[in-house]
Amino acid sequence: MKLSTKGRYGLSAMIDLAVYSENEAVSLNSIAERQHISEGYLEQLMAKLKKAGLVTSIRGASGGYRLARPAAEVSVGDILRALEGSLKAVECPGEQANGCEESSFCVTKYVWERMNASIQKTVDEIKLSDLINESRRVKKTTEIHTTGKTNEPCARSEKS
């Protein structure tokens, strides 16, 4: 299985949306600037995500997009399936209506089923909230490496 730009860019856009939409709707323009994705392409991705019930849109001057559900309830699998369709690494002909002549004794079918199940399990276990936390951790680590400073308040004991 190889993800297309829809899946890769869409996941990045959803992480961005989750990070920045806690207090207000996020414009596509702001996501496009931060993620270096064309606004037109983002519109297409957001339409698919909205249809899947993952985002909501708000019209007006302070409009934009928000998550439709809490980040802890949205999995990477939800996002990727909305954008990519099936996430199966291999489509076994035995699973289709007309089937496969050799499906009853096909040994490789076991491998494909295990691979597909592993992919599904992995993407469904990773929640958008996990990626928000990872994003913040990476940002903090990057700031420390580039500036040598943290934005965390210093814990000092003050004497009166």
The CATH number of the domain holding residue 10 is: 1.10.10.10
Q: Is residue 140 a part of any domain in this protein?
A: no
Of the candidates 21, 100, 101, the one whose C-alpha atom is nearest the C-alpha of residue 64 is 21
| Count: domains in the chain | 1
Tokens representing residue 32 in the block: 């496009």
Asked if 13 and 39 touch (Cβ cutoff 8 Å), the reply is no
| CA gap 135, 76 in Å, rounded | 14
CA angle 153, 158, 160 (to 5 degrees): 150
Tokens representing residue 141 in the block: 């680590």
Tokens representing residue 60 in the block: 């007006």
Q: Per-residue pLDDT averaged across 80-96, rounded?
A: 82
| Whole-Å CA distances, 93 to 17, 84, 102, 114, 145 | 38, 20, 9, 15, 51
pLDDT band at 103 (very low <50, low <70, confident <90, very high): low
Q: Is residue 41 a part of any domain in this protein?
A: yes
The sign of the torsion formed by the CA atoms of 78, 84, 85, 86 equals negative
Q: Is residue 112 a part of any domain in this protein?
A: yes
Q: Is residue 39 a part of any domain in this protein?
A: yes
Q: Count of alpha carbons within 13 Å of 79, Cβ hemisphere only? A: 34
Q: Is residue 156 a part of any domain in this protein?
A: no
pLDDT of residue 136: 85
**pLDDT higher than threshold 60 for residue 155:** no
Residues in contact with 24: Cβ distance below 8 Å, sequence separation at least 6, in sequence order: 62, 64
Q: Is residue 40 a part of any domain in this protein?
A: yes
Domain of residue 54 covers 5-131
The pLDDT tens digits of the residues spanning 33-84 come to: 999 999 999 999 999 999 999 999 999 888 899 999 999 999 999 999 999 9
Q: Is residue 23 a part of any domain in this protein?
A: yes
3-class DSSP state of 26: strand
Q: Is residue 34 a part of any domain in this protein?
A: yes
